[in-house]
Amino acid sequence: MTLKQTTNPNDGLTQEIREAIASGRHGDPFAVLGSHAESHGLWLRAFVPRAEAVSVIRRDEPSASSIAMTKTHQEGLFAVFLPKTKPFSYVLQVTANGVKVEQEDPYRFGPLLGELDIYLLGQGTHLEIYKILGAHPTVREGIAGTAFAVWAPNASRVSVVGDFNNWDGRMHVMRRRVEVGIWELFMPHVGPGTLYKYEILGADGQLLPLKADPVAFQGEMRPGNASIVHGLPRHAWQDDHWMANRHEVNDRHAPMSIYECHLDSWMRVPEEGDRRLTYLELADRLVSYVKEMGYTHIELLPITEYPFDASWGYQPTGMYAVTSRYGSPEGFAQLVDRAHQEGIGIILDWVPGHFPADAHGLALFDGTHLYEHADPRLGFHPDWNTCIYNYGRTEVTNFLLGSALFWLDCFHIDGLRVDAVASMLYLDYSRKAGEWIPNRFGGRENLDAIAFLRRLNELAYGRAPGSTTIAEESTAWPNVSRPTYVGGLGFGFKWNMGWMHDTLAYMSTDPLYRRYQHHKMTFGLLYAFSENFILPISHDEVTHGKGSMLGKMPGDEWQRFANLRAYYGFMWGHPGKKLLFMGNDFGQFTEWHDWTSLEWHVTQYPLHRGIQRLIQDLNTLYRKAPALYRHDTEPEGFRWIEANDTDNSVYSFLRLGADQDPPVLVVSHFTPLPHTGYRIGVPGPGIYREVFNSDAAIYGGSNMGNSGAVDAVPIPSHGFDYSVQLTIPPLATVIFEHAHD
């Protein structure tokens, strides 16, 4: 039996259209609701569930009587026909529960997206999608409200829902821009702080779980997961000097010592229920601590909104939203601004490699595999049970590139550290034979991901001058930190995971057997200048049963602290920028736990306080001695003196800067037996001042050293015409700076 397509004289609609509106299954409500001119008059229609009566009040005739509308469907469809009337501005007067209120009709407002936006979105080249998608408080025709826009091309209907409509998806169905699959709606009188989601019907009419906004700028604190109307952050920046000069700080020829920080567990307030600090409190305490310790940058574990605390932010659902755990977007902006005013850069861990399959997130967003690959061999990550972005879809890469530029633009972020790059580059990453699909050339390389990463880096450096990008890439993929125009991926820096694994394996070995592992400490120099490396002692090395840095060290208590001090001295002397995870810089006893504060109380004890002072002094020396950083990424900045003294477990090398920079001599010794009269070749005559000694008493050492300096004598050694005789303390690194006669 077919439905007769006759129209009702009370609303001009067929029964089929009327039912579709009332049930929330009409995909184009703007064709029905609002004001519609015809040759002989004007139809006004409104869908207001739970209303007893609805009238129309003309704005151009405020003194005129209201025009009553006829209820044509029991669910709340109202209509009136005004013969010989042209379109006019109006407001609805709604009576519900005996109370009359005036409310604006969203369906009387025109389209939101302009032609250029539509064109760029269609091309997948809209680099500022955060300015048009999401929820933006705005004013239209003198009415304050919020403009909503979301990409859901395969949906048959999308509604914005919230407390403003009792989460009723029938009420505010959005306008579909069929050219690009964007749904948009201006909601009058919906303002900042309002909770909202999108209710979506798939192409097959299936009602999906309510979805958070992919381009929301703020999200509800877990366990809630609604988006919050906020708009772009509003902050009066005071960092003009920093922004104009930050290219000097992020340059590969500059000193870079990074403090990696998890905001949730950095410091808590035990006397207030062990609460976490706010962004504003962190702007004071964290920035002050980092400045006091001499670091150049803070790297934050992801602060893009995420639902599961134990993911540490590495499974984000809000790529444009500052997590609400610590406050508002403005609070985070204040943290960044304060750091910049104190001369400290901010790096964000950013996760474009995968996303969680939470029902309110991106997975099956419009009922289809929109953001992720449909084939699990491409779209499912077996290590983390997450979804993998479809980098071959322009709208998806546009979404990700827009996120990167959003943080660089709106929050003045100085660098993006891209997580899990290796998992993006290889189609067979963590997959067995038959569980992955080769690329079009039959290879294992993810060509779409490679193109995306190259474009990311080109845009970051091109549109955010002075910023940098960093790759966490754990394989030997070539040219990660080389420009795209020479075939590289275009990152500014790469984490040296191999150096970290080798040296920690060596340091975990009993000193009695280190002679057999000697070249684990030297192997990294075979490839040290193939990339612009950062030496990372990150959060990954002090959790999940790996123990603390102090816990990795062998021996009794004194030897464990001495080993750690010697290792840090070796690290700061070694070519490469430095990264140290929080708590490692005062020798935390236990491994890191994300749910509780660092063990700040141990800094009252001399040995822990000694580690803290040592890091502070290493950072100071590093920044003051150009030879330690100017050629960090170039072979001319390094020369071995002795790399093969396996019997004594001693390493000695030179760090070299520009011609005018005093050379620096680094000597590391990893057995508990001191050496006296140890001869080392040096490049010329003069005094070699002892500028650092990890065995100094102020650090908790035995205070064995060289009385502040040694003189070079014309006795050839190690290929040099001059040499020095040193006292090398047990388990220690000693650093000397050459002072010419």
- What is the per-residue pLDDT across 429-456, written as a single tens digit (0 to 9) for each? 999 999 999 999 999 999 999 999 999 9
Buried b (16+ CB within 10 A) or exposed e, 259-274: bbbbbbbbbbeeeeee
Half-sphere CA count of 493, side-chain side, radius 13 A: 28
Q: Could you confirm whether 472 is annotated as catalytic?
A: yes
**Residue 605 to residues 554, 602, 616, Cα–Cα distance (Å):** 20, 6, 17
pLDDT attached to residue 7: 77
Phi, psi of 572 (to 5 degrees): -70, -25
pLDDT attached to residue 59: 86
pLDDT attached to residue 79: 96
Q: Splitting the chain (741 residues) into consecutive groups of 10 residues, what average pLDDT does each group show?
A: 60 93 93 92 94 92 84 95 91 94 95 95 93 97 97 97 96 95 97 98 94 98 95 96 97 97 96 95 98 98 96 96 97 98 98 97 97 96 95 97 98 98 96 95 97 98 97 96 97 98 98 97 97 98 96 97 98 98 97 96 97 98 97 96 97 95 97 97 96 98 96 97 98 93 55
Half-sphere CA count of 729, side-chain side, radius 13 A: 26
What DSSP string describes 485-540?
A: GGTS---SEEE-HHHHHHHHHHHTS-GGGGGGGGGGTTGGGGTTTSS-EEEEE-GG
Q: Could you confirm whether 510 is annotated as catalytic?
A: no
Catalytic residue among 117, 472, 617, 661, which? 472
- For the entire predicted model, the pTM comes to 0.95
pLDDT attached to residue 55: 96
Token pair of 35, please?
């004001």
Compute and round to an integer the Cα radius of gyration of the chain: 32
Helix or strand holding residue 159 (H, E): strand 157-162
Query: CA 694, CA 469: separation in Å to the nearest integer?
Result: 32
pLDDT attached to residue 652: 98
Domains of the chain: 15-104 (2.60.40.10), 115-228 (2.60.40.10), 240-495 (3.20.20.80), 635-739 (2.60.40.1180)
Measure the CA dihedral 102/106/107/113, to 10°: 160
Alpha helices, DSSP H, located in 208-328: 240-249, 263-266, 279-293
Task: Give the residues across from 137 on adjacent strands.
Answer: 146
pLDDT attached to residue 2: 37
Give the pairing of strands 70-73 and 77-83.
Answer: antiparallel
Catalytic residue among 260, 337, 349, 419, which? 419
Cis preceding linkage at 382, omega within 30? no
Phi, psi of 561 (to 5 degrees): -65, -40
